[in-house]
């Protein structure tokens, strides 16, 4: 499939796909006219790359991780190393810390919202989120 089709099916811009290719995260064949041609597998690969970026991994870490994952189901392949698994545990712990920090921030906001709206009539602040601060 051409880059535009891959972009449409994966929800990622052409520019991002070219970046992924430049970073070694994605590979394409070239048509006789020089256009990129991706296999069907590329859709799952791009979605997985997006998920790894969203989890906070860098392109360098993703490039090391992708060869150790099967595109069809994301399970580890036979070339996953113990060191890579250690790095993945470290990334998971980093994500857990980020989640804990976000929960603490949300709790603080909830306290501030509760204190700020305690004197408002119930109908005015129940579910309202567009009031001035």
Instruction: Give residue-wise pLDDT tens across range 20-75.
Output: 999 989 988 998 998 999 988 899 899 989 999 998 888 988 888 887 776 665 55
Q: Across the strands, what pairs with 36?
A: 30
The label of the residue with tokens 């791009």 reads: 46
- Of 121 and 35, the structure prediction assigns the larger pLDDT to 35
**Cβ neighbours of residue 39 closer than 8 Å, sequence gap 6 or more:** 1, 29
Ranges 15-24, 83-92, 121-130: which has the least confidence: 121-130
Q: What is the mean pLDDT of the chain?
A: 84
DSSP assignment of 56-113 equals: T--HHHHHHHGGGB-TTT--B-TT--HHHHHHHHHHHHHHHHHHHHHHHHHHHHHHHH
């Amino acid at each position: 499939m051409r880059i535009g089709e891959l972009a449409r099916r994966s929800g990622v811009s052409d520019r991002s796909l070219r970046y992924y290719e430049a970073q070694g995260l994605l590979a394409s064949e070239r048509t006789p006219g020089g256009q990129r041609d991706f296999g069907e597998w590329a859709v799952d690969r791009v979605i997985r790359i997006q998920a790894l970026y969203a989890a906070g991994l860098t392109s360098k870490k993703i490039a090391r991780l992708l060869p150790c994952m099967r595109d069809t189901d994301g399970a580890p392949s036979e070339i996953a190393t113990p060191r890579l698994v250690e790095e993945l545990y470290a990334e998971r712990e980093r994500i857990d810390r980020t989640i804990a920090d976000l929960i603490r921030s949300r709790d603080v906001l909830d306290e501030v919202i509760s204190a700020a709206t305690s004197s408002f009539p119930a109908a005015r602040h129940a579910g309202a989120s567009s009031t001035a601060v």
